[in-house]
Amino acid sequence: MRKTLDNLPSRSSPLSLSMRWSNFQRRYAPYIFVSPFFILFLVFGLYPSLFSLYMSFQSWTPSDGWGRWKYVGLDNYTFTLTDPMFWRSMWNTIWLGVVSGVPQHLIAIPLAFVIHMMLGRFKTFVTAVYFLPYITSSVAIALIFNTLFATHNGVINLVIAHLNTWPLLGALLPDQNINWFTSANVKYAIALVVIWQFTGWNVLLYLSALQAIPKDLYEAAAVDGASRVQQFRYITLPLLRPMMFFAVSLTIIGNMQLFEQPFVLLNGGASTATPGGQTVTMYMYRTAFEWLEMGTAASIAWILFIFIGILTYLNNLIFGRAARGVD
């Protein structure tokens, strides 16, 4: 319809100036409306990214002065890939990604299911409570947990000490106060904080997917005598797969970039004493802003980028096909 409207005046001979103007406007307005994003993206997104690719083949430190780069070929990459500290950080990141990522979903799915099935009016309220950590500053959260994790009389250690007196659970728990900030323990602390912060976000995602499942499917199953557990197993889980794909993708991308929580829990990443909590992004940050090796830092960023790409692709292989199948 629009085409005929647009073409109509051009066929009739003399165009009034105002019609010409409005035609001109309508043709070019959308380009002007969308242009701010693209200008900003080119200047502050694409250009820096390409520049960092260029930087990753250069050696440069701020004291050299702007423009004084030295081409070093693949040196930054070979340095990074042979640096034990990098692999240590990579291992920590993967470990944290799994240990803080998997429980988020294992907790969020049943929780969302319970909220969906059992709550009526209070659904929004309860979900909002679970969502609170997600909207809170990661720095604030890490600072709060810093006090909760204190070795002596920290709330978390006191709770563990109390649970220790329980008959069955007690056997599983350590008898002494845990020093959460040792190199070996700190990653458990970080994982706990991350699980606490992001489980609610996943609850919201899964809840929105659950609400999209038609009610009559459950009713039909109930008529056929399926129990709640069977309904969950044979209806809910398969129909949740597209959302699982989406939510797991977000978790992977987020967890591979963990920065603020370990940075603050480790008091600014004093990680020579606590290499157990150093993530790849922290290692990148230190390379750039402590050791001022900008080119090496750029190569770390690109290696991590490729790594995230591979993980996302693997996730796509595992969940993605099923997700598309259901779509």
Partner 1 sequence: MARKRVSFGGLLLRLGGYGLLGLGGLLTIAPFYFMFVFATHQRSEIFGFPPPLWFGEHFWSNYQILLEKIPFWRAYWNNLYLALMVTVTGLFFSSLAGFGFAMYEFRWREQLFAVVLATLLVPAILNLIPFYLLIYQIGWINTPKALWVPAMASAVGIFMMRQYILSAVPKELVDAARIDGCSEFQVYWRIVLPLIRPALGTLGLITFIGSWNRFADVNVIMRTQETKTLPVVLRTLQGATDVEWGAIMAGTALLVAPLLIVFALAARQLMEGLTSGALKN
Distances (CA, A) of 304 to 87, 283, 312, 322: 11, 11, 12, 27
DSSP secondary structure string for all residues of 28-72:
HHHHHHHHHHHHHHIIIIIHHHHHHHHHTTEE--GGG-TT--EE-
Question: Closest approach of Cβ 6 to partner 1, in Å?
Answer: 10
Question: Closest approach of Cβ 191 to partner 1, in Å?
Answer: 15
CA distance 213 to 122: 20
Comparing CB distances to partner 1, the nearer of 137 and 176 is 137
Question: Closest approach of Cβ 150 to partner 1, in Å?
Answer: 6
Comparing CB distances to partner 1, the nearer of 44 and 91 is 44
Comparing CB distances to partner 1, the nearer of 200 and 276 is 200
Bridge partners (DSSP) listed for residue 70: 59
Question: Closest approach of Cβ 122 to partner 1, in Å?
Answer: 9
8 Å CB contact between 139 and 264: yes
Closest C-alpha among 101, 103, 131, 147 to residue 264: 147
Comparing CB distances to partner 1, the nearer of 66 and 172 is 66
Question: Closest approach of Cβ 305 to partner 1, in Å?
Answer: 5
Question: Closest approach of Cβ 23 to partner 1, in Å?
Answer: 11
Comparing CB distances to partner 1, the nearer of 150 and 235 is 150
CA distance 261 to 187: 10
DSSP secondary structure string for all residues of 172-199:
GS-SS---TTSTTTHHHHHHHHHHHHHH
Question: Closest approach of Cβ 303 to partner 1, in Å?
Answer: 10
122-158 burial: b if 16+ Cβ within 10 Å, else e: eeeebbeebbebeeeebeebbeebbebbbeeebebbe
Which residues does 146 contact at the CB level (< 8 Å), separation at least 6?
264, 265
Closest C-alpha among 10, 100, 49, 61 to residue 293: 61
Question: Closest approach of Cβ 132 to partner 1, in Å?
Answer: 6
8 Å CB contact between 142 and 193: yes
